[in-house]
Each structure stands twice: as C-alpha cells, then as structure tokens.
C-alpha cells in the first residue's frame, strides 16, 4: 500500500486544537481592577489605545507592567513614539480608590501632552423585569 495513513496526525491535531481552545482564555490574565458602573456611551475608534490600570493599592500599570507614577508620562511617550495628542489612553481605576488618586494620575497623563484620556467603566447590570417599581 503506497498511501500514507494521516488519521493519527488528524487525531493529534484535533486534540491540540481542543487544548489551545481551552487554554487561550486563561492566558489573558490582566491586572485585577474592579471598575465602577456608569451610563456612558461606548468610545469608538480604529487605533489600539494604551491602557493604564490603577489597582486598589493605587499601583499603576501600563498593560500588565507596573510603573512608577513619576515616570508614567515618560513611559507613555516612549510607547507612542509619535505625537502624544493623537494617542488614546484608557484609564481603568478601581472603584475603591479615591477620586483624587484617579484624577492625579489622569492629570499627569493629560499634562504631558495626551489629549484623549478616557475613563473606563462598566455598564450597570440590567434590572430584572420582575422587580416592583416603587414610587
């Protein structure tokens, strides 16, 4: 018989596919930030934003890399490598932080030349239709 048996290769490939399908969502581990709720419209745009996380201990991260607050503007400028006014910076601050902490970091970002600084929140959960309307 001159034909090659490809059945074992297909079996191995299907098993690998299933393993990667299960493992891929586990690889997207980020900084744990409990976002506040807000009724705000979604921001649209084609360029990929820079995401700044502020966790509940007030530690600042760009993506998943922790940075010092004092060097944050320099790190952002190094990432953009272009005009800072055109880059979008998303700020995800934990809802347990004080307003002043989040505004201090946003102020540092915007005063260094970034004009598109956006606060990220979660949409509030829809209330069930079986709840009674009081009023």
DSSP 80: H
Checking if the pLDDT of 46 tops 60, the result is no
* CATH topology assigned to domain 50-119: Nucleotidyltransferase; domain 5 (3.30.420)
Report the C-alpha gap between 93 and 59 in whole angstroms: 10
- pLDDT grade for 27, boundaries at 50, 70 and 90: low
Lookup: tokens for 28:
């997207």
Q: Name the residue among 92, 79, 4, 80 with its Cα closest to residue 52.
A: 92
In the structure, what pLDDT confidence band is assigned to residue 126 with cuts at 50, 70 and 90?
A: low
Percent of the chain with pLDDT over 90: 4
**Mean pLDDT (the chain, rounded):** 77
Tell me the per-residue pLDDT of 110-124, one tens digit each, with 9 for 90 and over: 888 888 888 877 777
Q: Which residue has the tokens 């980020």?
A: 30
How many CB atoms within 10 Å of residue 104? 14
Residue 12 has pLDDT above 70, yes or no: yes
Most confident of 32-36, 76-80, 82-86, 129-133: 76-80
Residue 58's contacts (CB-CB under 8 Å, 6 or more residues apart) are: 97, 101
Domain extents for the chain? 50-119
The DSSP output letter for 27 is: G
Long-range contacts (CB closer than 8 Å, 24 or more residues apart) made by 39-44: 39/123, 39/124, 40/121, 43/88, 43/118
Chain centroid, CA 60 distance in Å: 13
Q: What's the pLDDT score for residue 84?
A: 61
């Amino acid at each position: 018989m001159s034909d090659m048996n490809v059945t074992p290769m297909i079996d191995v490939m299907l098993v690998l596919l299933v393993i990667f399908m299960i493992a891929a969502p586990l690889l997207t581990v980020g900084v744990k930030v409990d976002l506040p709720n807000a009724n705000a419209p979604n921001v649209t745009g084609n360029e990929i934003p820079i995401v700044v996380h502020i966790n509940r201990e007030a530690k600042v991260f760009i993506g998943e890399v922790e940075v010092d607050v004092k060097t944050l503007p320099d790190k952002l400028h190094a990432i953009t490598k272009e005009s800072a006014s055109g880059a979008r910076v998303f700020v995800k601050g934990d809802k347990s932080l004080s307003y002043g902490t989040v505004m201090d970091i946003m102020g540092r970002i915007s005063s260094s030349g970034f004009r598109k600084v956006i606060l990220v929140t979660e949409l509030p959960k829809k209330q069930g239709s079986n709840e009674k309307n009081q009023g």
